[in-house]
A and B are shown apart, each in its own frame.
Chain A
């Protein structure tokens, strides 16, 4: 039996990027905020100082910073005809855990989505006609426009100090930036990071081919930066331990390096760590959240009443909690009705591996978000008419790391062990290069989340079941953009290169990205979306759901900048609209 705590104004589930942003904005408006976080408190000095942060085995191979599947996991199957089985050890994605969430261990690639991404269904239908889209594709407009989100993107990037070069300032195309991006109201907070050899060669080759390469926008900063909250980040030292790792240098934008030092000093803020929310509580009408029930690490259950509940956990866990709490109608792939679990999507990545004889790349001189990219083949930047698919991605030479267990690649046909393998590793480590594509993943009727009928967590709660596979449209897209990438790589002059487009079934065991999306999407119609355009639950108006959970489908970019922008968008709606007149901000 849960013991009841005194009520607070706002309870936040999960203290990662979105939880920290919402807590900061709402405490600033005078509300009392309690954040409940499943994982531990984490900070640079105690958890990943530069004395031992560079530990590939501990952090990358043994998943030290991530949630333990023993605590909670999901089950997975490729399609409804299969029986879903539990993910016993993380593979395809890495669910975060602890204060800072994914913001602790991301690569910090800080991309905006394109204006057309937010009106995707309308845009593609107008340009190509409804019949051009696969019949089972369930893409939707977001209900919010790029122009509306632009100030929120700006705010998040200035919080982070993002390093980059604008390609479009208030409609004026800028040399050296991404000419395909939506307008920016001002330049990036800090200039681009320096580029090592590989990205420099890639940019030269791309320029010769008539493309417009630009530096990848990076949350690992090119120089020291003090953000509007007064928190200072240090310059990145190119150590190459970003994704899967915490930054020991205070150089990577994270809640720890941008918000938390200010937030925890607010007298109206409190965080409870190692406390796992079991469910969101509803009143008898089912239309109002009364707070949450959580369990602490001693096994005591507590009820935290609140006037406003903000679901700010990682995408998968937001959906899981909605399903467990009975909020919103669960999605049924048979009828296509229901909204919770609907439009689960991912990201389609691929690579081209190249081997050189005469070039030293020093892959260990790296940052999670340096690199030179081209955007000619992203979104709808090219005519899809002749190709028979929609979507795309950025292509680039993105030098994230030279960690030996992850990045010792050998040419195809090399044995996987023995002397020949050993010699090939020694020969190619410094002289090989991997260029990548980062592609969109649109949503489909048969890709969704629901509760598993068999497997449970340690509290006996049903695990969430993911049903997902890649579709022909995405595989064709990956083939096409990987071919375009290979043309650029070939021009860099390797002795040998290998195209690795995404192919076959989605494999839960192979790491691709942690960009899981959807499941409680935003939109304009409560029949096809769980949240309105302000990320407010259609069913329970005093509940807002943050994160990539709200993406109706995924674009060909990393999601965090958009997740951050949506958090500011939601916070603004709460402070400037909801608090003045609590209730639905959009009438269904």
Chain B
């Protein structure tokens, strides 16, 4: 039993003469149920192995947008489909699910900049010192998409980004990338870089996160995915690996059909 393993003496703390063990108990009592708990843990006598202690990722579920508004989502789908356009062999960023991926990432810990150092003062430095923005990724998208929409409507006769011809979309993206196009109220180049990074993440990350639908990006390059044993293939040089990719979530054809 876990509680025994980590040797928490089950005495009630007394007001006076509190023992060291009891003091620790007061801080450790909530932790005994999970080795990956965020709480302090006293380990003594044996490895702290509670049952079912794993922390697998939570698969993204299809459904409505979680972070983006409908208008933002339309723009993002158009953007990711130019950064990674469809071709006869492989769908583009939109059908790969890159917009869904970004939406769910922004709604979660990543979007909130959880875990990052967000204390001030916020001062711009050299490129070598890295990004010093006080904005979270979620805020940058809200700001960047609003500024992009304003720019498009002003420049292209009231049209939104999604309504532009592919050629115009690409020219605009190129301008953002090179710093030739500025956006009012947003860091245009920074927004482009963030968007490009997140789009590629969505394309290549495991499908459990909402992008790389049907492992299409892995099939495109010949990456077998979350496989774990290549011992029989290490010394088979210059030969194509024969097995199709698998995801952390398995493969679509592994799912047992209902009924």
Interface residues of A (CB under 8 A from B): 3, 5-6, 40-43, 45-47, 49-58, 61-63, 68-71, 73, 76-78, 82-89, 91, 194-197, 200, 235, 237-240, 248-249, 260-261, 264-265, 267, 269-275, 296-298, 300, 302, 359-360, 362, 364-365, 402, 404-405, 408, 416-419, 421-423, 425-426, 429-430, 454-456, 505-509
Beyond A76-B130, A274-B37, A274-B38, 9 additional contacts (C-beta under 8 Å) are A45-B54, A46-B50, A55-B57, A77-B125, A89-B130, A265-B45, A270-B42, A296-B40, A505-B128
Smallest Cβ-Cβ distance to B48: which chain A residue: A41
Q: How many angstroms from the CA of A364 to the CA of B35 in the assembled complex? A: 31
Instruction: Specify which of A52, A54, A63, A78 is in contact with B128 (CB 8 Å cutoff).
Output: A78
Instruction: Specify which of A46, A68, A83, A267 is in contact with B36 (CB 8 Å cutoff).
Output: A46
Among A83, A269, A362, A402, chain B packs the most CB atoms within 10 A around the CB of: A362
Contacts of A57 in B (CB 8 A): 201, 205-206, 209
Q: Can you list 28 A-B pairs, Cβ within 8 angstroms, ordered by A?
A: A40-B35, A40-B38, A41-B41, A45-B54, A46-B36, A50-B228, A52-B226, A61-B205, A70-B115, A77-B129, A82-B125, A82-B126, A85-B129, A86-B132, A194-B234, A196-B235, A197-B237, A237-B230, A239-B230, A240-B230, A270-B43, A274-B39, A296-B40, A297-B39, A408-B204, A423-B87, A425-B221, A456-B119
Report the minimum CB–CB distance from B116 to chain A (whole Å).
Answer: 5
Tell me what chain B mostly uses at the interface: helix, strand, loop, or mixed.
Answer: loop
Given contacts A249-B228, A405-B200, contact A78 B248 (CB under 8 A): no
Instruction: Contact check, A404 vs B41: say whether CB atoms are below 8 A apart.
Output: no
Q: How many angstroms from the CA of A296 to the CA of B41 in the assembled complex? A: 9
Interface residues of B (CB under 8 A from A): 20, 23-24, 26-27, 35-50, 53-57, 82-85, 87, 89-90, 109-110, 114-119, 121, 123, 125-132, 170, 173, 177, 196, 199-201, 204-206, 209, 217-218, 220-231, 233-235, 237-241, 248
Contacts of A73 in B (CB 8 A): 117
Given contacts A43-B49, A46-B55, contact A5 B20 (CB under 8 A): yes
Instruction: Contact check, A86 vs B44: say whether CB atoms are below 8 A apart.
Output: no
Instruction: Contact check, B27 vs A239: say whether CB atoms are below 8 A apart.
Output: no
Q: How many angstroms from the CA of A172 to the CA of B132 in the assembled complex? A: 55
Tell me what chain A mostly uses at the interface: helix, strand, loop, or mixed.
Answer: loop
Given contacts A54-B226, A360-B240, contact A417 B173 (CB under 8 A): yes
Q: How many angstroms from the CA of A249 to the CA of B205 in the assembled complex? A: 22
Instruction: Contact check, A40 vs B37: say whether CB atoms are below 8 A apart.
Output: yes
Instruction: Contact check, A273 vs B41: say whether CB atoms are below 8 A apart.
Output: yes
Instruction: Contact check, A360 vs B221: say whether CB atoms are below 8 A apart.
Output: no
Q: How many angstroms from the CA of A70 to the CA of B82 in the assembled complex? A: 35
Q: How many angstroms from the CA of A49 to the CA of B57 in the assembled complex? A: 12
Instruction: Contact check, A89 vs B131: say whether CB atoms are below 8 A apart.
Output: yes
Among A52, A71, A77, A405, chain B packs the most CB atoms within 10 A around the CB of: A52
Instruction: Contact check, A417 vs B115: say whether CB atoms are below 8 A apart.
Output: no
Given contacts A6-B20, A298-B40, contact A89 B116 (CB under 8 A): yes
Instruction: Contact check, A272 vs B40: say whether CB atoms are below 8 A apart.
Output: yes
Instruction: Specify which of A69, A87, A197, A264 is in contact with B46 (CB 8 Å cutoff).
Output: A264
Instruction: Contact check, A47 vs B45: say whether CB atoms are below 8 A apart.
Output: no
Smallest Cβ-Cβ distance to B101: which chain A residue: A57
Q: How many angstroms from the CA of A360 to the CA of B241 in the assembled complex? A: 9
Report the minimum CB–CB distance from A1 to chain B (whole Å).
Answer: 14
Q: How many angstroms from the CA of A196 to the CA of B236 in the assembled complex? A: 8
Instruction: Contact check, B43 vs A273: say whether CB atoms are below 8 A apart.
Output: yes
Instruction: Contact check, A402 vs B56: say whether CB atoms are below 8 A apart.
Output: no
Given contacts A6-B20, A89-B116, A364-B223, contact A271 B230 (CB under 8 A): no
Instruction: Specify which of B35, B121, B128 is in contact with A506 (CB 8 Å cutoff).
Output: B128
